[in-house]
Amino acid sequence: MNRVFAMTMSRTEDSGWSCPPSSLSICRCICAPGFAPPLCLAPYGPCEAHLCLNGGICKVNEEHTYDCSCAPGTTGDYCDTISDYCEFVGNRKCGNTGKCSNTNESIRGFLCSCEWEYRGADCELFVGKLAGFYQMFDVSPSYL
**69/32: higher pLDDT:** 69
- Domain positions in the chain are 1-44, 46-82, 84-136
Q: Is the per-residue pLDDT at 128 higher than 70?
A: yes
| Model confidence band, residue 132 (pLDDT cutoffs 50, 70, 90) | low
CATH topology (fold) of 46-82: Laminin (2.10.25)
| pLDDT tens by residue, 105-116 | 889 999 999 998
> Is the N-terminal amide bond of 38 cis, ω within 30° of 0?
yes
Q: How far apart are CA 86 and CA 73, in angstroms?
A: 7
CATH number of 84-136: 2.10.25.10
| Model confidence band, residue 74 (pLDDT cutoffs 50, 70, 90) | very high
Q: How far apart are CA 94 and CA 113, in angstroms?
A: 8
pLDDT at 82: 94
Cβ atoms within 10 Å, residue 70 = 23
Q: Is the per-residue pLDDT at 45 higher than 80?
A: no
